[in-house]
Amino acid sequence: MTATTSRVIAVTGGASGIGFAFSEALAKSGHRVVIADLRGAAEAAERLTAQGLQAIGTQTDVIKPDQVAQMVEQTVKAFGRFDVLVNNAGLFTTLALKPFDQITEAEWMRVMEVNTLGPFVCAKAAVPQMRKNGFGRIVNIASTTPIKGTPNMLHYVASKGAVIAFTRSLARELGKDEITVNAIAPGFTLSDGVLENDLHSKMGDVVRKTSRSLQRDQVPNDLVAALLFLASDGAGFITGQTIAVDGGSVFI
């Protein structure tokens, strides 16, 4: 049920954390991968090509339409097409946890910008290529926090709720083009960024002990099977869905 056709797949925020786990797993499954990240994209791609895998890196800020257009152009130049967009770049691990009334308007806007404008800008740039192919997959990385109503990060939770809504409406708009749009909602995951942030790491312990059915830490590799599935030929009739991968913490 996993991938049967080699696809050209761009992963935003693909240079580290969950995004790098996605990039590596996709490349190891025979896909050609474009790592689009603010920093470390070229180095991350080199880590893959050094293993004989197919990847390129492009320094891209997902909220900048000109940089995203360039990323799409570079993808088509390198690999001849653009099949799958993974909207993974997001602000989370660098955010301080705080009550809603201590979040500034500027912090709110910045989180919304990266987490909601970013996927919009990337989808707008990628969809024309997908329409050309008569094939396309968009996978948005949401979160289980809007389903749980997690406190002390209201801007983040609201942004990821928006990602789930975005997924559903865009799926309806793009069905006629044979483009599917789905979301993966990870639970609290020990990504590079989380491991560097003590407060976030402590939160992980609480999540595991209080709400997770499977009583162990969640790691980036726990998420890759859902992405490989959504990119696979067999998942072509699934759209508008959000798949929670969180060890059984929420049930959607």
**Nearest distance from C-beta of residue 230 to ligand NAD, angstroms:** 15
Which residue number, 53 or 62, has a Cβ lying nearer to ligand NAD? 62
- Of 71, 34, 40, nearest to 54 by C-alpha is 34
Which residue number, 166 or 188, has a Cβ lying nearer to ligand NAD? 188
User: Which residues contribute to the site for ligand NAD (CB under 6 A)?
Assistant: 12-13, 15-19, 37-39, 60-63, 88-90, 92-93, 114, 118, 141, 143, 186, 188-189, 191-194
Q: Say which amino acid occupies 115.
A: N
Which residue number, 43 or 233, has a Cβ lying nearer to ligand NAD? 43
- Of 224, 244, 247, nearest to 3 by C-alpha is 224
Which residue number, 24 or 61, has a Cβ lying nearer to ligand NAD? 61
Q: Give the separation between CA 217 and CA 208, rounded to whole angstroms.
A: 7
User: 152 with 97: CB under 8 angstroms?
Assistant: yes
Q: What b/e sequence results for 44-68 when a residue is b if at least 16 CB atoms lie within 10 Å of its CB, and e otherwise?
A: bbebbeeeebbbbbbbbbbbeeebb
Compute CA 142 distance to the chain's CA centroid, rounded to the nearest angstrom.
7
**Nearest distance from C-beta of residue 41 to ligand NAD, angstroms:** 8
**Nearest distance from C-beta of residue 246 to ligand NAD, angstroms:** 8
82, 156, 188, 229: the active-site residue = 156
**Nearest distance from C-beta of residue 90 to ligand NAD, angstroms:** 2
111 is catalytic: no
Which residue numbers are catalytic? Answer: 156
